[in-house]
A and B are shown apart, each in its own frame.
Chain A
Amino acid sequence: MESNDKSQKDVFERFQTKLEELKETLPPLGRTPGTSCAALTFTNILDVLNLEIFESCYFNNLAVPFSGFGSYVNDKGFKGPCGTVSGAIAALGVIMGGQEELKRENVSLVFAKAMQFADKFEKKFGSVSCHDICGYDLRTNYKTYVKENIWEKKCCNFVLSAIELVMKLTRKDLKTKWQ
């Protein structure tokens, strides 16, 4: 694997540094057009993993529609999942797969982690649905969302918690596959 020579820190230190850095850099993004919680969650985790391939724009782009999916509500009451949850689940797959395609026998472990992640996220914030946890229907109330600083007050915390939770849930894989 070709890694960037950004530091000699181990992967857990890089996670901690990233989380510290994001506490400063995430809040102002609420004023920056083009912010996607799903892409921020996913690409910042990939950044910690520190491979050259993850600098490709494709990893950012594939995550962006998940933010919009979060705003989806249908007439049967289904509400889309928070984009940070989708971004984190994608990252779980990458971390647990390591440097090879996920083996068939390991897929159930990844599934279990995805469930654990959703469960812990729900316990912490009360739901995995974007609408429920940010408190707004972003299709119709986006202006109020911005005016009320909901990104700064709530969504930043979802991104930070999702990244931290992924780190905690994948300690073993990070140690064996990403050091």
Chain B
Amino acid sequence: MTRFDEKLESLKEEIKHPNPGANCAILTFTNILDVLGKEEFKSHYFTNLVAPFPLFGGYKSEDGWKGPCGTVSGALAGLGIILGGDKKLSKMSQVRKAEMNGGKFAIQFSKEFGSICCADICGYDLTKPESMMEYMKNNTWQNKCMHFVLFAIDQVRKQTEKELLKNWE
């Protein structure tokens, strides 16, 4: 059983009731970092940098554009870390590969859940307090969002199998 398998197995129970302050982007990103196992990743900066993404997910522009699910943003950050390993992604081929992987992740996520927009897949406009109440009342985290997190972590693993072996074993 790999560290990713173990993490996913334990998360199935652990994230049913996440700690206060945690959100989908934080849970996705920090659990990927946890699997990678570097002391450096325990720094609070890694948590803080993804913390705002869930509400960007709730952003709706005047022309109807809706923000991506925070899980997607957390997973993209995780992809970049894994693909780069301990070296800066700077060569054109490396950067293009990381960018392509970002697009590939979005395609796979959308294929699985029908969309990558937060409002579309969770079914609520989380910027509105009344919608948030409904979200909580209907156990939407347990019924939907935690599964986005689990899928995202697994998908990141699938897309980076080669780099995980090469850069993180």
Contact = CB atoms under 8 A, between A and B. Distances in A.
In this complex, the member of A90, A127, A128 whose beta carbon has the largest number of chain B beta carbons within 10 angstroms is A90
A9 interface: no
A67 B61 contact: no
Contacts of B105: 65, 69
B52 A118 contact: no
Given A66-B76, A67-B102, A80 B68 contact: yes
B13 interface: no
Interface in A109-127: 110-115, 118-119, 122, 127
A84 interface: no
A113 B52 contact: yes
Contacts, number: 194
Given A34-B95, A36-B95, A93 B20 contact: no
Contact of A122 (B54, B62, B88, B127): B62
A92 interface: yes
B103 interface: yes
A141 to B, nearest CB: 15
B62 A93 contact: no
A67 B61 CA distance: 20
B55 A114 contact: yes
B55 A81 contact: no
Contacts of A103: 21
B53 to A, nearest CB: 6
Given A34-B92, A63-B77, A102-B48, A58 B40 contact: yes
17 contacts: A36-B98, A57-B87, A57-B88, A57-B89, A58-B84, A61-B98, A63-B77, A69-B102, A81-B68, A90-B77, A91-B49, A97-B51, A99-B44, A101-B44, A102-B21, A102-B47, A139-B103
Interface of B: 20-21, 23, 40-41, 43-56, 58-59, 61-63, 65-68, 72-73, 76-81, 83-84, 86-92, 94-95, 98-103, 105-107, 110, 115-117, 127
Given A62-B49, A74-B106, 12 more contacts: A36-B95, A58-B46, A62-B81, A69-B105, A69-B106, A71-B99, A78-B68, A78-B110, A80-B103, A97-B45, A122-B61, A128-B65
